[in-house]
């Protein structure tokens, strides 16, 4: 905290963080007691001690349903207004299907209501469907559901980015 403020000439506008929570990852062992899960509270400590105008937290989707996150949210919301949800990186132009939990917080006294960004990509195109083991058109609702893509009726017209579309 204080060392960060000294380095930043006494003011931090924003904090961006992705504290490793391997114990919560679908790719990991799903161990709630994994000590790395506690790194979420290091993010809390840094935000609390530097008091930035905003913070953005990125993590595994399962984080949002944990008691760990509820504790974080309950404490941090005494100073920050929050927006949280799960986004898929493919819907923002990344050539990878990657669902991530995003939490955006603005200091309450700023009077800003945070919101998650709307997708910019994904209404059309093809993608390798790992569930089915084939290339699928994302216009198919079942494919969209399988891949964790948005199910909104109004999808962006920009196609998903993939490595074979160049």
Q: Which residues are catalytic?
A: 21
82: three-class secondary structure by DSSP: strand
Q: 123: closest CA among 141, 99, 146, 109?
A: 141
List, in order, residues 6 or more apart from 156 with CB less than 8 Å away: 91, 118, 119, 120, 121, 122, 123
Beta strands of the chain (E only): which ranges? 14-17, 54-59, 80-88, 99-107, 126-129, 134-137
Phi and psi (nearest 5°) for 41? -75, -20
CA angle 50, 57, 5 (to 5 degrees): 15
């Amino acid at each position: 905290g204080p060392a960060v403020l000294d380095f930043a000439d006494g003011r931090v506008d924003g904090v961006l963080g992705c504290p490793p929570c391997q114990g919560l990852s679908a790719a990991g062992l799903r161990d709630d007691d994994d000590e790395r899960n506690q790194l979420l509270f290091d993010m809390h400590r840094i935000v609390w001690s530097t008091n930035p105008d905003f913070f953005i937290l990125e993590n595994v989707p399962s984080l949002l349903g944990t008691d760990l996150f509820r504790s974080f949210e309950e404490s941090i919301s005494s100073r920050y207004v929050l927006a949280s949800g799960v986004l898929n990186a493919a819907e923002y132009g990344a050539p990878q299907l990657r669902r991530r939990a995003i939490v955006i917080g603005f200091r309450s006294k700023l009077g800003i209501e945070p919101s998650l960004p709307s997708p910019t990509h994904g209404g059309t195109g093809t993608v390798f469907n790992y569930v089915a083991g084939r290339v699928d058109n994302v216009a198919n609702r079942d494919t969209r559901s399988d891949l964790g893509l948005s199910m909104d009726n109004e999808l962006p017209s920009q196609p998903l980015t993939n490595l074979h579309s160049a």
